[in-house]
Structure 1
């Protein structure tokens, strides 16, 4: 006969049910969290694309052509301000409110659109479209891998960061040397590094949810996650374009 008064006979089913509900709630929260990040990231890319298209509309008669051929301080403002916002968001995310980070993110994507308009002046529309869809396909596949893989990519990420620093140094050197061979090496390495960073950042962003779930940090984590994935995608797109793009 079952011993209905023994707590050990009844605790397990209830604990299992509670654990199942908790797991289901966590999974639902994680999906909502990642979907919010992807929505922000995709909206940012779309906004940058629209701004770039409008700013470069008309080719040599466009506002972008006039600004970037003038070589004035406005050019440096457009080029450097997105970098300044990224640093501000990265180092000040704990101080800024979620609303402030949102405003900074949208401002960043607009400024990036102004900067990216030079690509529409330099390369053919077909080349830009091909590079964009290639980058989009690669991003989706690599981000999905980073989300689903059980392999820890943290060590791989350290290697990629070192590679990224190497690209930055090589790019600075190539400003002075103007070597076509070095440019090709930088472009190939850039595609590979940002492809790897897409998977690495996706896994890192996913792992972050367990620390911010149920707290007021979720909104900030969404914005910063979207910023990281935006940068991975845009950089991968630019390096692909430099490899396959046909110039006007």
Structure 2
């Protein structure tokens, strides 16, 4: 009997160690995918902004500041009806990816995620026309530090963040509605309120989503390997997408407070 108990304890311990190792590898994959997507978005935004703005008055078509002009490409991107496509394409893209994720192979899901990161980069390129490069870099650093702390909290806390998450998701819907209203009616002071609430909401979602990602893997691991590598690949992409969105939104809302305008 003692030998059986020892064997059973050893088996359980080995299984727990295996799950812990798998969780670490899974979370590394999630953060790795997110990091690559962030690099793609930043590179795309910087490259598009470089093509859209020129200091040469002869080749510029619209003056946007002292010694700065939009090129014909920039004018088409930011002042023509194409701006609405650029603005809303990432939103359409993310809904499409979320709806189709279970029908995609892990490789296709990863490729779609990176394509979405490019679309987001094009959409965010306009920040280089509004804010100084130094303030963008500073805000990015502040966001990265906050994100790491919040995600670490979500990963390590024993507190169930589920009830908070439900409230925060409702807050995101409210932010979207308020942003659309402000876009068309430009209500005084509403932008500041939206930015303040946006920082709080996406800070909370960073911790919540991290806990959810961890919990989903643990539930999968304790159920066995049904679905195996395909589930892990697709789930890692969705986890990376959620954290990516938390980071991008927190960065954009913080930029409204910390960014210095050109």
TM over 0.5: yes
| Counterpart secondary structure, 2:261 | coil
Q: Distance in 2 between matches of 1:60 and 1:112?
A: 19
User: Which position in structure 1 is the counterpart of 2:248?
Assistant: 234
Q: Distance in 2 between matches of 1:11 and 1:26?
A: 22
| Counterpart secondary structure, 1:30 | helix
User: Which position in structure 2 is the counterpart of 1:29?
Assistant: 22
Question: Structure 2 matches for 1:1-248, cutoff 5 A?
Answer: 8-57=1-50, 60-61=53-54, 65-73=74-82, 75-213=83-221, 214=225, 215=228, 216-248=230-262
Q: Distance in 2 between matches of 1:9 and 1:69?
A: 74
Tell me which stretches of 4 or more aligned residues in structure 1 moved more than 4 Å: none
User: Which position in structure 1 is the counterpart of 2:61?
Assistant: none
CA deviation vs aligned residue, 1:50-82 (integer Å, no higher than 9, x gap): 111111126632666333344133x33322222
Native 8 Å contact 1:65 1:121 kept in 2:
no
Q: Distance in 2 between matches of 1:134 and 1:98?
A: 32
CA deviation vs aligned residue, 1:73-128 (integer Å, no higher than 9, x gap): 3x333222221221112122112221221111010001111111101111011110
CA deviation vs aligned residue, 1:28-65 (integer Å, no higher than 9, x gap): 00000000000100110011101111111266326663
Q: Distance in 2 between matches of 1:88 and 1:97?
A: 15
TM-score, length basis structure 2: 0.87
Q: Distance in 2 between matches of 1:58 and 1:105?
A: 24
Q: CA RMSD in A?
A: 1.5
Native 8 Å contact 1:212 1:221 kept in 2:
no
Q: Distance in 1 between matches of 2:2 and 2:125?
A: 68
**Unmatched tracts of structure 2, length 5 or more:** 55-69
CA deviation vs aligned residue, 1:147-183 (integer Å, no higher than 9, x gap): 0000000000011011111111111111233134111
Q: Distance in 2 between matches of 1:117 and 1:202?
A: 28
TM-score, length basis structure 1: 0.92
Native 8 Å contact 2:52 2:75 kept in 1:
no
Q: Measured at CA, do residues 180 and 46 of structure 1 come closer, stay the same or move farther in structure 2, by a change above 3 Å? A: farther
User: Which position in structure 2 is the counterpart of 1:3?
Assistant: none
Q: Which moved more, 1:103-112 or 1:55-64?
A: 55-64
Aligned residues between the structures: 240
